[in-house]
Amino acid sequence: MKVSVKVPATTANLGPGFDCMGMALPIYNTVTIEETVLPGTGVEINVIAENQSTDEFSLEHIPMDENSIIYKAVELLYNSIGQTPSELKITIHSQIPIARGLGSSASVIVGGLIAANELLGRPADEAALLSIATEVEGHPDNVTPAIVGGLTITSSEDDGSIVYRKLEWPEEWNITVCVPEYELATDISRSVLPKEVPMQDAVYNAQRMGMFVHAIHTKDSALMKLALKDRLHQPYRMKLVPGLEKIAEKLKHEENVLGCVLSGAGPSILIISEKNNLDKIKATVKEVWNDLNLKADIISLPVENQGAIVLNQDD
């Protein structure tokens, strides 16, 4: 039997929502898991890059055996029902750029889990899948929108359960994703974060999260400009993303730009705006990065409101 699952890219944090807010975007990885008939073959993992953003150098860093995060997710699901994985062939058709802050690891974890769940006859419900995916990924901000789609605010509870709610992104607000050509591993991006932060910074982000949720519900652009600020992660990561500070400063004075934030751990950035000056926004980003000899893909995208979907099941 063979199952394929299509999973969207995700962007996390969105400024103040460090490790608790994420959004699905319409770029996709497709994960196919097939039970093989040859005993003793173990697991075979293949990654097929479908665009130039996922190059051979990137793929060299992906374990292709039982150490892969996708296999760990599948193994946890099997173990949760008292089984061990049989011989499996796992194929990842990769469109989501790796190590760019767009949820590539979350997508393969989720794709592997849902495909394996289908193979096993769906023993795990959404809550179980969210818990296992978060255990493998480490935090729920990317895996939640990858599973359920849309913009989500998420909490990982002490008992391992995941609580989330979906927020409706205003159609009037545009999302421009700027993906530079270089990689930034999440563990490096996390290594620059302090273990403790000043109380006033924690309060500042709590204020901004409240503003963010209210701005979403009321489509309040002026409030959103305040809400997209952050003191918990972006100030520390600025030095890892050349040009980010300059881009943010230039766009701050651009009419109808609500904010410029890191996408996840970076180095991709998101620019939130109203829709009438996209060409100027893209030109500003290109100008800054061209001066640094950095190439980038700059695209405007809607929110992907549908999460992972099963494409087919072949007996």
Residue among 262, 236, 229, 248 at smallest CA distance from 102: 262
Neighbours of 273 (CB within 10 A): 24
Residue-averaged pLDDT of the chain: 90
Residue among 85, 177, 167, 163 at smallest CA distance from 130: 163
Neighbours of 107 (CB within 10 A): 31
Neighbours of 12 (CB within 10 A): 28
**What is the model's pTM?**
0.92
Pairing, β 296-301 against β 88-94: unpaired
Neighbours of 135 (CB within 10 A): 16
Q: pLDDT digit string (tens) for 228-250?
A: 999 999 999 999 999 999 999 99
Q: What is the mean pLDDT of residues 149-176?
A: 96
Could you tell me if 6 and 24 are in contact, meaning their C-beta atoms sit under 8 angstroms apart? no
Q: pLDDT digit string (tens) for 251-294?
A: 988 889 999 999 999 999 999 999 777 888 999 999 999 999 99
Residue 312 makes CB contacts below 8 A (sequence gap 6+) with 2, 3, 4
Reduced DSSP (H G I as helix, E B as strand, rest coil) percent helix, strand, coil of the chain, to 5: 35, 30, 35
Q: pLDDT digit string (tens) for 193-218?
A: 999 999 999 999 999 999 999 999 99
Domain covering 173-301 in this structure, CATH number: 3.30.70.890
Q: How far apart are CA 22 and CA 165, in angstroms?
A: 11
Q: How far apart are CA 109 and CA 305, in angstroms?
A: 19
- The reported pLDDT for the residue numbered 273 is 95
CATH architecture group of domain 2-167+303-314 = 2-Layer Sandwich (3.30)
- Domain range summary for the chain, segments of one domain joined by +: 2-167+303-314, 173-301
- The reported pLDDT for the residue numbered 253 is 85
Pairing, β 162-167 against β 257-262: unpaired
Residue among 106, 98, 96, 187 at smallest CA distance from 142: 106
Burial of 73 (0-12, 13-18, 19+ CB in 10 A): buried
- Torsion, Cα 127 131 133 135, to 10 degrees, reads 180
Could you tell me if 68 and 150 are in contact, meaning their C-beta atoms sit under 8 angstroms apart? no
Flag whether pLDDT at 62 surpasses 60.
no
Cα-only R_g, the chain: 20
